[in-house]
Copies of this chain bind each other. A is one copy, B any other.
Amino acid sequence: MSDRSDVLEANASFYRAFQTKSLEAMDHIWAEEEVSCVHPGWPALESRASILDSYKMISSHAEQEPVLCLNPRLVLRGDHALVLCEEQVGVSLLVASNLFLRAPKGWRLLHHQASPLMQARPNVEAGRLN
């Protein structure tokens, strides 16, 4: 497979791990390096242990709606790759950035940030950040 398809497959694996609530798969997809994760509204998690704990906690909630990855776009640059996508969680839309590193055994997730997308784009209209 090409690097591009490998990264997109790694990105898809991340969302599959979430959907299937597989902590083993989630553990596999995150890099061994210094990793970080920003769930919507949460402070940044900056250790592997805290990130895996967060997915364990989130997955334990039966009412957690599936997180679907829409329209992934990829920028590949050497051993780093950034995937931008939208996430659909129930009726909510989020914007996500997923940064991957080429590790010895394949592409692994270094950093994830997801944040709510205002569908009425109020900040765009107002032209202000807050």
Contacts and interface: CB of A to CB of B under 8 A. Distances in A.
B111 A41 contact: no
Q: How many copies does the complex hold?
A: 2
Given A84-B44, A114-B129, A38 B97 contact: yes
A39 interface: yes
A46 B57 CA distance: 33
Count class of interface residues, chain A: 35 or more
Given A65-B130, A117-B41, A111 B97 contact: yes
Interface of A: 33-34, 36, 38-44, 46, 57-58, 60-61, 63-65, 67, 73, 75, 77-80, 82, 84, 89-90, 92, 95, 97, 99, 101, 110-111, 113-118, 121-124, 126-130
